[in-house]
């Protein structure tokens, strides 16, 4: 086990004994420590939680100063964190957040990776990703649920609500892409997953995210057809270069219903070009990065051309946020953007309802607390079948990393009900300790990211970043326990601005009041953002659920 700055591994305290002056501060302390728990973080020795270099604190001195300050922070004080370094403590009031965080923000013209890296080298900033620097990362459960939700939306749009009897073709079984096989089978479907690295396939089988490995495309197809005809969920891994396998399957007329991709196409040096053996990939990329980039892009063009071919043949095809369309276009393939990104295709209708990745962590450390909250969710929303399927399967198949946690997508008018129920359960002693309730920054009204969450907005407002700033401010005004504004998460420096909040259910009446406001107003931002952009569904939701939008009144 890697050492963390000369000490033993970091692990958040469990149980009901406080190490701070109140549960709001205690939650921030435990969630920061939890982000750096080796069970949770990718490189805990470097303070890196996930997503390339997404960090929880700028350096070990800053980490020590944050934990030391949280230990003595009063209930009417607020700690200010600038890109992972604690820079001040101010007297505020009990409704104010206990921590305010700003990570990785740069002035527009300076918002480039080279300038960011120069400033990082000088020790002036850090990359906070989304939930790394805002202390609410919960491990791979987050990506599994997001992928499940996307395939569930595909099923709702094209296949009557289930993927049973359909075959999906995708590639990339890496850290995040590895969630695809389980997400498809959880939706009842069959999936063929191509990866050029046999270790990625083996790892997914070991972690029970992937069912079987086929020795060839022939065998993969045979297994897929058998399972599809029996309407039996099955995930099949096959070792191949996707730039060859996808065109080959198209040429054979393979019966594929859904096609996507999660190879690491966002970085051409991490995509295997045709003609390079997997074992030689790293050396070839290091020897001639420019030549390798060119070859990778040309291969991506062949890969994307075949995806378009499947679309022409009637399959449902979408980009899964890895920039493969942009790279194929750079290689000169003109029809690269013929298929949509996953947000405009499936997720935006959910955003219009204020839906997004709601999550919570049991500060007790007791998995039984999460089981009880799971039951509360099933009880609160009995009509939502997809949610019920997820909660049941997550209970059976998701292994907790660090503090037990749960994620599910809830919308406007739902999150506040869940939060208040949890707070009541803490008050009554049904839960053994308070719960930290937060979300990803990838949410309905909290991010501006023109290549992902705000791609192809109806009114062209993709790059307008006022919305995440308003989102952060309304969360501060509503009583969140900590609030953050970040730049560059998900898609990199210069390409996104986003905000997060975490609110603690500690069982007090005050927490109940704060939860009601925060968990109404936070998803409310998603509704008003999409009303403003002209989405009919958002207008309907605003009307049905009484969200006030001045431009619709009078």
Residues carrying an active site annotation? 408
3-class secondary-structure state, position 299 = helix
Minimum distance from residue 380 beta carbon to ligand NAD (Å): 27
What is the per-residue binding string for ligand NAD in 95-134, x denoting contact by CB under 6 A? Answer: ----------------------------------------
Q: Which of residues 180-209 bind ligand NAD (CB under 6 A)?
A: 194-197, 200
175 is in an annotated binding site: yes
CA–CA–CA angle 322, 323, 324 (5° rounding): 95
Rounded to the nearest 10°, the torsion over CA 357, 362, 367, 370 is -50
Burial code (b: 16+ CB inside 10 Å, e: under 16) for 425-449 equals bbbeeebbbbbbbbbbbbbbbbbbb
**CA 311, CA 336: separation in Å to the nearest integer?**
12
DSSP letters spanning 209-277: S--EEESSHHHHHHHHHHHHHTT--EEEEEES-HHHHHHHHHHTT---SEE---SSTTSGGGSPPTTS-
Minimum distance from residue 51 beta carbon to ligand NAD (Å): 8
Q: How far apart are the first and last CA of the chain?
A: 63
Neighbours of 109 (CB within 10 A): 8
Q: Which stretch binds ligand NAD (CB under 6 A): 5-13, 224-232, 263-271, 527-535?
A: 263-271
What is the per-residue binding string for ligand NAD in 222-261, x denoting contact by CB under 6 A? Answer: -------------------xxx------------------
Q: Which stretch binds ligand NAD (CB under 6 A): 15-23, 24-32, 63-71, 314-322?
A: 314-322
126 is in an annotated binding site: no
Neighbours of 160 (CB within 10 A): 10
Nearer to ligand NAD, 68 or 157 (CB): 157
**Residue 381 CB burial class (10 angstroms; 0-12, 13-18, ≥19):** middle
Q: Does 328 bind ligand NAD (CB under 6 A)?
A: no
Minimum distance from residue 153 beta carbon to ligand NAD (Å): 13
Binding-site size for ligand NAD (CB under 6 A) equals 29
Nearer to ligand NAD, 133 or 247 (CB): 247
Q: Which stretch binds ligand NAD (CB under 6 A): 14-22, 81-89, 224-232, 316-324?
A: 316-324
Q: List the beta bridge partners of residue 236.
A: 192, 212
Q: Which residue among 30, 58, 441, 452 contacts ligand NAD (CB under 6 A)?
A: 452
Nearer to ligand NAD, 189 or 247 (CB): 247
Minimum distance from residue 321 beta carbon to ligand NAD (Å): 2
Strands 54-55, 48-50: pairing is: antiparallel
Neighbours of 173 (CB within 10 A): 30
186 is in an annotated binding site: no
**CA 472, CA 490: separation in Å to the nearest integer?**
18
Per the CB < 8 A criterion, the answer to whether 309 and 250 are in contact is yes
Nearer to ligand NAD, 187 or 432 (CB): 187
Q: Which of residues 272-291 bind ligand NAD (CB under 6 A)?
A: 272
Nearer to ligand NAD, 63 or 320 (CB): 320
Q: Which residue among 29, 81, 173, 258 contacts ligand NAD (CB under 6 A)?
A: 173
Cα torsion angle, 458, 459, 462, 467, sign: negative
Q: Which residue among 172, 404, 445, 489 contacts ligand NAD (CB under 6 A)?
A: 172
**CA 448, CA 110: separation in Å to the nearest integer?**
18
460 is in an annotated binding site: no
272 is in an annotated binding site: yes
Residue numbers at the binding site for ligand NAD (CB under 6 A):
143, 146, 171-177, 194-197, 200, 241-243, 262-266, 270-272, 320-322, 452
Binding site for NAD(+): residue ranges? Answer: 51-52, 129, 175-177, 195, 241-242, 262-266, 271-272, 320, 490
């Amino acid at each position: 086990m890697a050492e963390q700055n000369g000490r033993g591994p970091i692990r958040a305290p469990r149980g009901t004994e406080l190490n701070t002056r109140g549960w709001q501060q205690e939650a921030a302390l435990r969630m920061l420590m939890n982000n750096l728990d080796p069970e949770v973080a990718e490189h805990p020795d470097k303070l890196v939680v996930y997503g390339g270099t997404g960090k929880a604190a700028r350096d070990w001195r800053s980490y020590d100063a944050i934990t030391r300050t949280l230990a003595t922070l009063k209930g009417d004080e607020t700690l200010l964190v600038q890109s992972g370094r604690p820079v001040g403590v101010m007297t505020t009031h009990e409704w104010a957040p206990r921590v305010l965080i700003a990570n990785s923000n740069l002035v527009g013209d300076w918002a480039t990776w080279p300038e960011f890296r120069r400033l990082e080298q000088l020790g002036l900033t850090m990359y906070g990703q989304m939930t790394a620097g805002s202390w609410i990362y919960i491990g791979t459960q987050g990506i599994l649920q997001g992928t499940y939700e996307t395939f569930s939306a595909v099923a709702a749009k094209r296949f009557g609500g289930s993927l049973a009897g359909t075959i999906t073709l995708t590639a990339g079984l890496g850290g995040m892409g590895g969630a695809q096989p389980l997400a498809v089978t959880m939706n009842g479907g069959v999936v063929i997953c191509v990866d050029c690295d046999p270790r990625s396939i083996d790892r997914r089988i070991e972690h029970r995210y992937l069912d079987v490995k086929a020795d060839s495309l022939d065998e993969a197809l045979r297994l897929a057809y058998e399972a599809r005809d029996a309407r039996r969920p099955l995930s099949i891994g096959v070792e191949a270069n996707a730039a060859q396998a996808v065109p080959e399957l198209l040429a054979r007329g393979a019966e594929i219903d859904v096609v996507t991709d999660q190879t690491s196409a966002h970085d051409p040096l991490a995509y295997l070009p045709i003609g390079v053996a997997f074992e030689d990939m790293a050396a070839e990329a290091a020897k001639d990065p420019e030549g390798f980039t060119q070859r990778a892009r040309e291969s991506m063009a062949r890969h994307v051309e075949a995806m378009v071919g499947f679309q022409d043949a009637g399959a449902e095809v979408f980009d899964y946020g890895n920039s493969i369309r942009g790279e194929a276009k750079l290689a000169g393939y003109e029809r690269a953007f013929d298929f949509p990104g996953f947000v405009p295709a499936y997720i935006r209708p959910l955003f219009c309802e204020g839906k997004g990745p709601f999550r919570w962590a049991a500060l007790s450390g007791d998995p039984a607390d999460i089981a009880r909250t799971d039951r509360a969710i099933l009880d609160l929303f009995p009509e939502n079948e997809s949610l019920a399927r997820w909660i049941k399967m997550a209970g059976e198949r998701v292994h907790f990393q660090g503090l037990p946690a749960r994620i599910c997508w809830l919308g406007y008018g739902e999150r506040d009900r869940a939060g208040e129920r949890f707070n009541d359960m803490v008050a009554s002693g049904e839960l053994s300790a308070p719960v930290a309730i937060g979300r990803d920054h990838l949410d309905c009204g909290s991010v501006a990211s023109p290549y992902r969450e705000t791609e192809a907005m109806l009114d062209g407002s993709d790059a307008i970043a006022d919305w995440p700033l308003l989102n952060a401010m309304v969360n501060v005004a509503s009583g969140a326990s900590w609030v953050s504004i970040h730049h560059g998460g998900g898609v990199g420096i210069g390409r996104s601005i986003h905000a997060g909040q975490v609110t603690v259910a500690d069982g007090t009446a005050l927490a109940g009041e704060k939860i009601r406001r925060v968990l109404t107003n936070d998803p409310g931002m998603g509704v008003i953002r999409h009303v403003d952009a002209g989405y009919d569904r958002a207008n309907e939701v605003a009307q049905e659920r009484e969200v006030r939008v001045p431009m619709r009144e009078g």
